[in-house]
Structure 1
Amino acid sequence: MTTGHVRVIAIMNQKGGVGKTTTTVNLGHALALQGKQVALIDMDPQGQVATSLGLDNQQLGIDVVLLEGEAIDVVKHQARDNLDLVPAGPRLNEFEHINEGGVERGHRLRKAIEESSLSAYDFVLIDCPPSSGLLGVNAMFASSELIVPVSGDYLSLQGLSRMMQILKRSEEISGHRIRLWLVSTRMQLRRKLTAEVRKRVLKYFPGRVLFTPIRENVALAECPSFGKTIFDYRKKSAGAEDYFTLASDVLNRRAADGQE
């Protein structure tokens, strides 16, 4: 786990379609708009964080940091005011197949952050791959907090169960606690199923569900194709409102209780 005042937060869910990258990008920009110094690290070989910010997803990034020991500051790019990006890089998937290095392999990201300017930032948000391989292990070992996006369907509850197993295993191996947060995404608040899923999540994880749910919003789905965050694309939308408020929840560690 990194030391200092920086909050390193992994954003992870093995279930697709829950808004993992959407949350990384828009929460990061929302925190930056609230005056915080933020860095995003893309640990997903798909490289969609760069694309979502309108940047080249084939430039060198965290891949050469993990594979060759390059410094993070060499591959860091300014994406917006107060918001920097360390992209995935074209070779990131190779890291999953590294055999040498023993236990040290799982701590390369943590060490790289500690040895970089990112250790003096307010937030580092890590967009994690959907698998629990070596890339995911590095993200978890580097983080002090974990945000799990949970959409409003029952399959998300199954994915959440799997994430709890990964979290427990990571804590056992690394020897440090990771603070868990859940964020309700793609919420259609008038649907009975959506309300039931959120109710269950609140019941089983009291004090762990960030207060603001992210409503299903067409603009959120559209903005990545234009290389824009929701604040660039449609700052008056429900999506922008929700992520800006969610950033305040994260800043103040504001969670819902077991009932709403």
Structure 2
Amino acid sequence: MRTFAVLNQKGGVGKTTTAINLAHAMALRGHLVTAIDMDPQNHLTAGLGQETHPQVGIDEVLLAESDLQTTVIDARQNLQLVPAGTRLSEVEQGARGVKGGLLLANEIKKLERQDFVFIDCPPSSGILSMNAILAANEIIVPVSSDYLALHGMSRLMGILNHVEKRLHHKMTVWVALTRFHGRRRLANEVRDKLVNYFPGSVLKTPIREAVALAESPSYGQTIFEYQKRGNGSNDYSALADDLLHGRTR
């Protein structure tokens, strides 16, 4: 089982969009996928059209009030969702130390017969993000094509390296270029710098800026449902193949 934490502390980079659409892309290929919403904002849950359903979420699992298997919702064919719930802030406030950071990792071990797990992380470096990092064996960092994104990426890589060394937690880091404008010089400069700074980590396919990617979550749909033919669906399908086959720049 490959477990991905989709992580970036900078907002507006397409973090949840990437988690939703990669999860569905893998499910459409026939893989068994679980998506976990670790963001108190519930964006992953809402983006899959499940926000209004009565639910027990990952919050109660991390608070030791429910079992992971009881929280799972069948969101799409081959795609299960573990919603965020309404009490993730209690986990952030109550869990401390290394043991608190392993709550999710211990629960994910109970998942059976899943090929992929995608964890949508909050835009912060607190205990919820640490849970996701320690539960994952791979990290996907969506990065938009601007220089502030480069600065944030450098800081995030420092955090991941610290976790890897101090807690002996090995993980593979992938960089996904998002909101990409191929005709803009800045976008290409940022891409080239990322390839230079993080060789072998930048996934081959950039996700081009597309209105449909911004619109689809408001309808509770993935890009493959909202616009089957277009840049967004083509790009995320290709990005899923990049992950399957390890294709990088």
TM-score (norm 1): 0.93
Indicate conservation of the 8 Å contact 1:78/1:85, yes or no: yes
Residues 194-233 of structure 1 mapped to structure 2, 5 A cutoff: 194-233=187-226
Aligned match of 2:173: 180
* Offset at residue 242 of structure 1 (A): 0.3
* Offset at residue 35 of structure 1 (A): 1.2
Render the CA deviation track for 1:158-187: whole Å, top value 9, x for unaligned: 110111111012212321211010000000
Distance in 2 (CA, whole Å) between partners of 1:69 and 1:59 is: 13
Residues 1-260 of structure 1 mapped to structure 2, 5 A cutoff: 6-56=1-51, 59-99=55-95, 102-117=97-112, 120-256=113-249
Unaligned runs of 5+ in 2: none
Q: Which moved more, 1:8-17 or 1:166-175?
A: 166-175
Distance in 1 (CA, whole Å) between partners of 2:140 and 2:227 is: 25
Indicate conservation of the 8 Å contact 1:59/1:90, yes or no: no
Distance in 2 (CA, whole Å) between partners of 1:99 and 1:122 is: 29
* Offset at residue 99 of structure 1 (A): 4.8
Distance in 1 (CA, whole Å) between partners of 2:56 and 2:164 is: 31
* Offset at residue 124 of structure 1 (A): 0.3
* Offset at residue 69 of structure 1 (A): 4.5
Distance in 2 (CA, whole Å) between partners of 1:143 and 1:68 is: 20
Indicate conservation of the 8 Å contact 2:42/2:51, yes or no: no
TM-score (norm 2): 0.97
User: Sequence identity of aligned pairs in percent?
Assistant: 52
Distance in 2 (CA, whole Å) between partners of 1:63 and 1:156 is: 30
* Offset at residue 231 of structure 1 (A): 0.5
2:102 counterpart SS class: helix
Unaligned runs of 5+ in 1: 1-5
Structure 1 stretches of 4+ with a deviation exceeding 6 A read none
Indicate conservation of the 8 Å contact 2:227/2:233, yes or no: yes
Q: Which moved more, 1:49-58 or 1:154-163?
A: 49-58
Indicate conservation of the 8 Å contact 1:20/1:127, yes or no: yes
Aligned length: 248
